[in-house]
Amino acid sequence: MNTYYLLEQAARRFPAHGAVYVGSELRWTYADLHGRVLRLAAALRHLYGEEARVAVFSENRPKFLELLFGAWAAGQVIVPLNYKLHPKEVLPIIEDAKVSAIFVSPSLAGTLRSTLHESPKWRRYYWRCRGWRKPV
Protein backbone atom coordinates (compact mmCIF):
# COMPACT_ATOMS: atom_id res chain seq x y z
CA MET A 1 0.00 0.00 0.00
CA ASN A 2 1.26 3.46 -0.92
CA THR A 3 1.31 5.83 2.07
CA TYR A 4 -0.31 8.53 -0.07
CA TYR A 5 -3.62 6.64 0.17
CA LEU A 6 -3.81 7.44 3.88
CA LEU A 7 -4.00 11.13 2.99
CA GLU A 8 -6.48 10.45 0.20
CA GLN A 9 -8.78 8.57 2.61
CA ALA A 10 -8.50 11.28 5.28
CA ALA A 11 -9.29 14.00 2.72
CA ARG A 12 -12.36 12.07 1.58
CA ARG A 13 -13.63 11.39 5.10
CA PHE A 14 -12.61 14.62 6.89
CA PRO A 15 -12.07 17.33 4.23
CA ALA A 16 -12.64 20.28 6.58
CA HIS A 17 -10.65 18.91 9.52
CA GLY A 18 -7.23 20.32 10.29
CA ALA A 19 -4.37 18.32 8.79
CA VAL A 20 -1.30 20.52 9.30
CA TYR A 21 -0.71 22.91 12.16
CA VAL A 22 2.24 25.13 12.95
CA GLY A 23 1.98 25.49 16.69
CA SER A 24 -1.73 26.14 17.23
CA GLU A 25 -2.20 27.83 13.83
CA LEU A 26 -4.05 25.79 11.21
CA ARG A 27 -2.00 25.75 8.01
CA TRP A 28 -4.01 23.30 5.84
CA THR A 29 -7.15 21.20 6.11
CA TYR A 30 -7.07 17.67 4.70
CA ALA A 31 -8.79 18.93 1.54
CA ASP A 32 -6.22 21.74 1.17
CA LEU A 33 -3.28 19.41 1.71
CA HIS A 34 -4.71 16.82 -0.66
CA GLY A 35 -5.18 19.42 -3.43
CA ARG A 36 -1.65 20.76 -2.98
CA VAL A 37 -0.23 17.23 -2.98
CA LEU A 38 -2.03 16.27 -6.20
CA ARG A 39 -0.75 19.39 -8.01
CA LEU A 40 2.80 18.75 -6.82
CA ALA A 41 2.55 15.05 -7.74
CA ALA A 42 1.51 15.93 -11.28
CA ALA A 43 4.49 18.25 -11.65
CA LEU A 44 6.94 15.75 -10.15
CA ARG A 45 5.63 12.94 -12.36
CA HIS A 46 5.87 15.17 -15.43
CA LEU A 47 9.43 16.26 -14.63
CA TYR A 48 10.93 12.99 -13.38
CA GLY A 49 8.55 10.10 -14.10
CA GLU A 50 7.44 7.36 -11.74
CA GLU A 51 9.95 5.61 -9.48
CA ALA A 52 12.31 8.61 -9.53
CA ARG A 53 14.21 9.36 -6.34
CA VAL A 54 13.67 12.80 -4.82
CA ALA A 55 15.95 14.05 -2.04
CA VAL A 56 14.82 16.42 0.72
CA PHE A 57 17.31 18.48 2.73
CA SER A 58 15.09 20.39 5.14
CA GLU A 59 14.05 20.89 8.71
CA ASN A 60 10.55 19.76 9.69
CA ARG A 61 8.15 22.19 8.04
CA PRO A 62 4.74 21.98 6.32
CA LYS A 63 6.26 21.89 2.83
CA PHE A 64 8.28 18.82 3.85
CA LEU A 65 5.01 16.97 4.48
CA GLU A 66 3.59 18.25 1.19
CA LEU A 67 6.65 16.96 -0.67
CA LEU A 68 6.53 13.55 1.04
CA PHE A 69 2.94 12.93 0.04
CA GLY A 70 3.46 14.54 -3.39
CA ALA A 71 6.31 12.19 -4.22
CA TRP A 72 4.39 9.17 -2.93
CA ALA A 73 1.33 10.19 -4.98
CA ALA A 74 3.60 10.43 -8.04
CA GLY A 75 4.93 6.92 -7.38
CA GLN A 76 8.34 8.25 -6.46
CA VAL A 77 10.79 7.50 -3.67
CA ILE A 78 11.80 10.06 -1.03
CA VAL A 79 15.46 10.21 0.00
CA PRO A 80 15.42 12.12 3.31
CA LEU A 81 18.69 13.82 4.21
CA ASN A 82 19.54 14.76 7.78
CA TYR A 83 19.62 18.55 7.76
CA LYS A 84 22.34 18.48 10.43
CA LEU A 85 24.81 16.90 8.01
CA HIS A 86 27.53 19.08 6.57
CA PRO A 87 26.81 19.79 2.89
CA LYS A 88 29.98 17.93 1.88
CA GLU A 89 28.48 14.82 3.55
CA VAL A 90 25.28 15.21 1.53
CA LEU A 91 26.88 15.05 -1.92
CA PRO A 92 28.01 11.39 -1.75
CA ILE A 93 24.60 10.37 -0.41
CA ILE A 94 22.69 11.95 -3.27
CA GLU A 95 25.13 10.53 -5.79
CA ASP A 96 24.83 7.01 -4.32
CA ALA A 97 21.03 7.27 -4.22
CA LYS A 98 20.94 8.47 -7.84
CA VAL A 99 18.36 11.15 -7.05
CA SER A 100 16.66 13.08 -9.81
CA ALA A 101 16.03 16.25 -7.78
CA ILE A 102 16.89 17.82 -4.44
CA PHE A 103 14.49 20.02 -2.51
CA VAL A 104 16.21 22.28 0.02
CA SER A 105 14.77 24.58 2.67
CA PRO A 106 15.65 28.28 2.31
CA SER A 107 17.68 28.29 5.54
CA LEU A 108 19.96 25.51 4.25
CA ALA A 109 20.11 26.61 0.62
CA GLY A 110 23.20 28.80 0.80
CA THR A 111 25.57 26.22 2.20
CA LEU A 112 24.32 23.38 0.04
CA ARG A 113 24.36 25.44 -3.15
CA SER A 114 28.12 26.00 -3.06
CA THR A 115 28.73 22.28 -2.46
CA LEU A 116 26.42 21.26 -5.31
CA HIS A 117 28.16 23.66 -7.67
CA GLU A 118 31.33 21.61 -7.16
CA SER A 119 29.62 18.65 -8.83
CA PRO A 120 29.15 18.91 -12.60
CA LYS A 121 25.89 16.94 -12.44
CA TRP A 122 24.26 19.05 -9.74
CA ARG A 123 25.39 22.46 -10.92
CA ARG A 124 22.18 22.80 -12.96
CA TYR A 125 19.74 20.81 -10.82
CA TYR A 126 19.04 22.63 -7.62
CA TRP A 127 15.67 23.34 -6.03
CA ARG A 128 14.54 25.33 -3.00
CA CYS A 129 11.53 24.77 -0.80
CA ARG A 130 10.23 28.32 -1.07
CA GLY A 131 7.53 27.88 -3.70
CA TRP A 132 9.27 24.77 -5.11
CA ARG A 133 10.81 26.86 -7.88
CA LYS A 134 13.91 26.17 -9.85
CA PRO A 135 16.27 29.18 -9.55
CA VAL A 136 17.50 30.95 -12.66
Would you give per-residue pLDDT tens digits along the chain (136 residues)? 689 999 999 999 999 999 999 999 999 999 999 999 999 999 999 999 999 999 999 999 999 999 999 999 999 999 999 999 998 899 899 989 999 888 888 888 888 877 877 776 765 554 444 444 443 3
CATH classification for the domain delimited by 4-132, as one of 2.60.40.1180, 3.40.50.150, 3.40.50.1370, 3.40.50.980:
3.40.50.980
d(CA 35, CA 32): 5
Report the first-to-last Cα separation within the chain, whole angstroms. Answer: 38
106 contacts: CB under 8 Å, gap ≥ 6: 128, 129, 130
Helices of type H across 17-102: 30-48, 62-73, 87-97
How many whole angstroms separate alpha carbon 37 and alpha carbon 68?
Answer: 9
The pTM score is 0.84
Residues whose CB is less than 8 angstroms from the CB of residue 76 and which lie 6 or more positions away in sequence, other chains included: 44, 45, 48, 50, 51, 52, 53, 54
Phi, psi of 134, deg, nearest 5: -85, 125
Q: How many CA atoms lie within 13 A of 122 on its CB side?
A: 25
